[in-house]
Amino acid sequence: MREKNTQDLYEFISGEEVGTLRERNGIVKGIEQGVNNTLNYVGDTVTGKKGPEEIFSDLGKLGQGLYDDYIDPFAKEE
């Protein structure tokens, strides 16, 4: 109820329509996109649209991305 009142007030003052919290929340959008991408990837793997070479290449990219994002920043701090 509070969110609706806040949205109405903002719309009245700004003259702009406000989307729902779900529409405005970048984290939720990111999770939805991640889930959709994962389901599509699994589907492509199961149906054979992705071959073993492409899967191994993707795993290598994933490993490098994880290293770059989570390990390397800490290694650089030391």
Are 18 and 11 within 8 A, CB to CB?
yes
Q: What is the mean pLDDT of the segment spanning 20-41?
A: 85
C-alpha 47/C-alpha 67 separation (Å) is 30
Please name the residues in contact with 17: beta carbons below 8 A apart, sequence gap of 6 or more.
Answer: 11
Q: How confident is the model at residue 2 (pLDDT cuts 50, 70, 90)?
A: low
User: CA angle, 24 as apex, 23 and 29 as ends, to 5°?
Assistant: 65
C-beta pairs of 37-44 under 8 Å, 24+ apart in sequence: none
The tens digit of pLDDT for each residue in 32-43 reads 899 999 999 999
